[in-house]
Structure 1
Amino acid sequence: MGRIEWPELIEFIFHHIISLLIGVFYSIGCYRYFRRHKAAQIIFAYVLTLPTVFLYFPLTYLAEKPTPPLLDFTAIGYWTLGHAIYAVILFAVYTINEH
């Protein structure tokens, strides 16, 4: 952010703060609108996670630290897989904790 060079640990914490906010939004949305609809809950998790897949491109382009090439399909695949797994975990944790 700006000219500040954040340590990697702080960047990791920022990432988890965003994840926490997404989790809270997901929980509230599921509770209010999809309480008894498991299929809608998993779709909602993927809908919330889908934009992160596309963030790969601007974040890689704007990165000041070394990153894979913009069109490195292996890196894009790992990025996408990681965020898809996040959606599954979001759904699973909500499902486990809703009772």
Structure 2
Amino acid sequence: MAAPDGAEPVFGFVVESYGDGDAYFMGLSDPRSLAQGEGVSSWCNLVSTANGGLSTRVLFNDPAFPNRGAARAWMATDQYVQLKALLMSLAYA
């Protein structure tokens, strides 16, 4: 599922900090939107296609995890592996 410029979408599990807490998302993304650090804009899950674009995004209930350590621990679970595999199996024709 390459973009018109040849870029392959990548899987991302991201945290966005805001106000009093963090929001957690996972999905497919253009690799250029996964920059990290202070002042970086929000994660964009729009993937370019030959005739437009598609969007995949899983938003976890707020609060999804009590802290970032718990989110990292969840990444070692079967549930995480299965959800990631589902997203990575998507094809666009």
Verify same fold: TM over 0.5. no
Q: TM-score, normalised by structure 2?
A: 0.28
Which structure's CA Rg is the greater one?
A: 1
Q: TM-score, normalised by structure 1?
A: 0.27
Structure richer in helix, relative to its length = 1
Greater RCO, 1 or 2 (C-alpha within 8 Å, sep 6+): 1
